Amino acid sequence: MNNCKSFKPSIDNNSKILILGSMPGIKSLEEQQYYAHPQNRFWKVMASICNEPKLHELDYNLKLKTLLKNNIALWDTIKSCKRDGSLDSDIQNEFPNDIKKLLKKYHNIKTICLNGNKSYSAFKKYFPDLLDKYTCYKMPSTSPANARYNLDKLIEEWNIIYNSQE
């Protein structure tokens, strides 16, 4: 069982939307980058949302800056856990990030998007009161393990982000 630790949030005072994953997978932990696995569709989905067609090809820091420019923050629901592999279903001994503290500091966040079932279930378990306080969306996972959704369908579902900023 590997000890896994989440990254620091990518957020600024202009952020209006917080996207929460569950816990970075092996490739992301190795690279110290959110959604680093080449088959994860997150950055391609965000390319469409942010109207930046080549976003997924940019340097990691430029990817994060592009999200921030579009008022989108990024973090994980889980701060630490034990897990072999990258599957959310293998997460054990989870401990949540202090999302309440983050939201107190960044008052402009109005919408929370939970990337996948595990992120949503952990959020619901540790922060049930926030489900009523914020506009929260359980989003289909961008992970390659979520084969039910092709890229076009993911983009269609994730467009709620674009619509929530209007």
Q: State the Cα–Cα distance between residues 72 and 110, nearest whole angstrom.
A: 11
Question: Given 2, 3, 14, 40, which residue is catalytic?
Answer: 40
DSSP for 93-141 reads EEEE--HHHHHHH-TT--EEEEESHHHHHHHHHH-TTHHHHSEEEEEPP
40 counts as catalytic: yes
Strand partners, 114: 20, 138
Catalytic residue list: 40
